[in-house]
């Protein structure tokens, strides 16, 4: 069964790279460019994994999840892997405390990105 991934990334270059890498590996990929679009898609569709940028236009990644939980408690919590440009100290402060996993974009090569996604989605 093909795994469906939602990529929420406002940077066009990074979004295109993620799409190319994940579709080449056989994943079904959907995208959102800001927090409002991510919220709408998560409210109406189901995903095996959400790659969620932390800093987004309109709603930050944590705000998307909080709004989804508050306004749609019937929807089960999606599996989320935050993606960020924060350094590890900032990421631990803002994302680590939320109870979600994350990776720092600049720390991964394309090959490591794919490997991390495959490992995370198979958990």
Tens digits of residue pLDDT in 27-81 = 999 999 999 999 999 999 999 999 999 999 999 999 999 999 899 888 887 889 9
Task: State residue 47's pLDDT score.
Answer: 94
Tens digits of residue pLDDT in 84-117 = 888 777 777 778 778 888 888 888 899 999 999 9
Inter-helix orientation angle 110-121/12-24, to 10°: 60
DSSP annotation string for 89-106: HHHHHHTGGGT-EEEEGG
Residue 84: DSSP 8-state? E
Task: State residue 107's pLDDT score.
Answer: 87
Task: State residue 87's pLDDT score.
Answer: 75
Closest CA to 103 of 59, 51, 63: 51
pTM: 0.92
The structural domains of the chain, ordered by start, are 4-121 (3.40.50.2300)
């Amino acid at each position: 069964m093909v795994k469906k991934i939602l990529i929420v990334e406002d940077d066009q270059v990074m979004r295109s790279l993620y799409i190319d890498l994940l579709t080449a590996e056989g994943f079904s990929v959907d995208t959102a460019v800001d927090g409002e679009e991510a919220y709408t898609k998560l409210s109406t569709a189901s995903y095996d994994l959400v790659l969620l940028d932390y800093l987004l236009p309109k709603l930050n990644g944590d705000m998307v999840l909080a709004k989804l939980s508050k306004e749609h408690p019937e929807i089960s919590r999606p599996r989320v892997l935050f993606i960020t440009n924060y350094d590890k100290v900032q990421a631990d402060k803002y994302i680590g405390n939320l109870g979600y996993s994350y990776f720092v974009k600049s720390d991964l090569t394309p090959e490591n990105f794919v490997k991390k996604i495959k490992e995370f989605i198979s958990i």
